[in-house]
Structure 1
């Protein structure tokens, strides 16, 4: 099945990867990445931001257009503060959705009689009409002033078509009825004529104005999140697939230790080892989160980030079995690898991250499965992989994979009574085995070696 140009522009990212990266929800109840980036002022703006985060860009052209818009907004932030108020936006939205009487009468006498009836017998409706029309006029006036700002005449990227459409809609002849002052003092007849124009004749136009305002609200939110979190705008590159970063960190970590990333067609696989708690999973999530943000057109948590856009981003970190469907943990792992393999087999540009795969089976099967997958991944051009594992025995076999595997590790310092982690990425493969030490440090053996205390006797009287 062929894909449309729009579909080709969208990054493939499935529900499991959304869950792994905590894009919209977090199992611990903490803020999601959406919450982390959401600085919108309106409900509609938040809806647009969510839609953007559900469908990141996959094409360099689209990503760069968003980047240009965000850079411009950041540089001209004071002008974007003149956008319509929340009151005007939400008031107009309610006005268009509320069920109110329509006085769309061509006959002047019938319109006059209908106007009197609304005013005399349906005062609650009349005041809703007045309140809604005032909000819509405030929206139009604010957008007029905003779109006319001189610095916005040459706005780049995504902003250019948004502002062009905004100006075209605001220039419609009917909107000449909207004065440059508040309409609260207008009489009943004049106010209902204004309502007829806004809510009947130009309802679709008002809805479109709101939609454009929501798009702008979402872009401003992305720019504000960049500034608030100190994100750096990445460089979008052309050519064979690669991703390079200096000073990469996970945005959720307090006082993070930054690390580099280097994936390219000479080293398509990063093979990551090290003991538990040393930082492997956080490193994988940090890179995947940065790449995801880069495909949104946003900045990333790094000192420098360069990438060639991919078509699919897969993460396999927090797999679980599925009792209801009869899917064991190992089968869930196999299905996850299959999803990656299908995208690779189609010839798509894929970046996949796998955190300790095949731990749902015995060590021998896990070793053979890992090696077989790594051998095949290493031969696929225009695809990149991160693969963490405790199977350090794989190191003897990785050297024959045409140097496509770059081995890195995290380690723990074992001096003193407790383990210490510096979370710094090092070249090579870790041979640390700390499982027994962790169990001892947690006092587990001490608890199990203690003689059991006999259960207290319960007297017959107590019973």
Structure 2
């Protein structure tokens, strides 16, 4: 298990949870959460956003700084249309990484001879230099005009230091040589001199400028995605771990049914029951996705959302056996629980979601394992858990768990010929058993019985052979 102690500001989130929540990739080929949030204009901005989504915050201070930046961008969105063009950004990136001849001669005669050689013998390189230098100049001019906008002086959160770094970099002496007009009409000698100043002397500075621009692009994308999807800014709380939300829903759903969430030190465990297809797994994913977005500093899909930041977020929704490693399904489940237990044992603030654990063993083992885990989870301060299960028999024992378990359920509406689901969370434990009904509704028994009847009918009508 990776440890978060080496990076205390970052949320611990492992590859399995990334996969469960489809944060960076979606197995089905649909859009991932990254795709859902990506409104960046440049490839570098998209890479910066991906890095952020790989490393969400665990620190309330860092989350708040990102929230402030996103709020400012949303309120002053028109200002950020004044950022340099994508053409200038991408052109500068290509200019710095393209293999081109450099003229770094201090002797003017040698520089002039070198410039002449580039012009005569390497004209394609020369035109690449001109094009790249033009892009770099446009980037610098665009940033000059952008960072002095009056309202940007009041930028808050992450934006303040970011903009200050841009302003400092733009005061470099060599950047002062960049004219306020397009350099296309300049002489070959002057363009190559400018290329020397930019691509040789200030290459590191230009790369740093681009890095800051990409971070701006990523922040604007996060602000735009939050606004476009109507997300609400979470309230960051202090003290013992808690999460409370109203109107929570999964952002991928077209017509979602919203539900509440409440986990705290009086109810550390949400025990979730209900038949298949009623909404348990979607509810777990919706909650985990919202909590993850909150740790990024983004808005979340809810009417309201309050939380104390955690150090580790674990999900155990989609597990599989591993034939090559000789890991059975139940062993995979046990190893997943062990990963959570290791973080809990280290005293970390953990939030873990387990969707119908211990399916890979017999009913008695599953019951005993679930009860044993719930008993231990219920005593862990500053840890919160969601635990969905079909083991409704556990309800007879949950009252012993220090009153730490909040029981909720989803159910199917059985009126009419077909089952219907309202996806509303209810208090209590579901005792619905719908397996036989679902099999009947799908006509499985009719298919099997029809095959048997056809065989019986054919055997009765078959003529007897003469002896």
TM-score bucket of the superposed structures, by smaller chain: over 0.9
Q: Distance in 1 between matches of 2:3 and 2:286?
A: 30
Q: Distance in 1 between matches of 2:361 and 2:252?
A: 32
Deviations 1:10-53 (A, max 9, x none): 00000000000000111111000000000000000000100000
In the alignment, what sits opposite 2:426?
A: 426
In structure 2, the gaps of 5 or more residues are 459-467
Query: Would you say 1:274 and 2:268 are equivalent positions?
Result: no
In the alignment, what sits opposite 1:314?
A: 314
Deviations 1:327-385 (A, max 9, x none): 00000000000000000000000000000000100000000000000000000000000
Q: State the shift of 1:451 in Å.
A: 2.6
Deviations 1:237-286 (A, max 9, x none): 00000000000000001110000000000000000000000000000000
Q: What TM-score results when the alignment is normalised by the length of structure 1?
A: 0.97
Distance 1:5 1:384, change over 3 A: closer
Q: State the shift of 1:305 in Å.
A: 0.1
SS where residue 334 of structure 1 aligns?
A: helix
In the alignment, what sits opposite 2:238?
A: 238
SS where residue 450 of structure 1 aligns?
A: helix
In the alignment, what sits opposite 1:193?
A: 193
In the alignment, what sits opposite 1:335?
A: 335
Q: Give the CA RMSD over aligned residues.
A: 1.4
Query: Would you say 1:416 and 2:406 are equivalent positions?
Result: no
Q: What TM-score results when the alignment is normalised by the length of structure 2?
A: 0.96
In the alignment, what sits opposite 1:106?
A: 106
In the alignment, what sits opposite 1:83?
A: 83
Moved more, 430-439 or 5-14: 5-14
Q: State the shift of 1:63 in Å.
A: 0.2
Deviations 1:87-115 (A, max 9, x none): 00000000000111111000000000000
Q: Distance in 1 between matches of 2:359 and 2:436?
A: 18
SS where residue 168 of structure 1 aligns?
A: helix
Distance 1:5 1:428, change over 3 A: closer
In the alignment, what sits opposite 2:183?
A: 183
Query: Would you say 1:288 and 2:311 are equivalent positions?
Result: no
Deviations 1:132-164 (A, max 9, x none): 000000000001111111111121110111111
Q: State the shift of 1:5 in Å.
A: 7.5
Query: Would you say 1:229 and 2:216 are equivalent positions?
Result: no
Deviations 1:56-93 (A, max 9, x none): 00010000000000000001100001111110000000
Q: State the shift of 1:179 in Å.
A: 1.1
In the alignment, what sits opposite 2:159?
A: 159
Q: Distance in 2 between matches of 1:95 and 1:283?
A: 48
Q: Distance in 2 between matches of 1:196 and 1:382?
A: 58
Query: Would you say 1:135 and 2:135 are equivalent positions?
Result: yes
Distance 1:431 1:5, change over 3 A: closer
In structure 1, the gaps of 5 or more residues are 456-463
In the alignment, what sits opposite 1:258?
A: 258
Q: Distance in 1 between matches of 2:15 and 2:6?
A: 20
Distance 1:2 1:56, change over 3 A: closer
Deviations 1:211-251 (A, max 9, x none): 00000000000000001111000000000000000000000
Q: State the shift of 1:3 in Å.
A: 7.4
In the alignment, what sits opposite 1:53?
A: 53
In the alignment, what sits opposite 1:400?
A: 400
Q: For residues 313-462 of structure 1, what are the structure 2 equivalents within 5 Å? A: 313-451=313-451
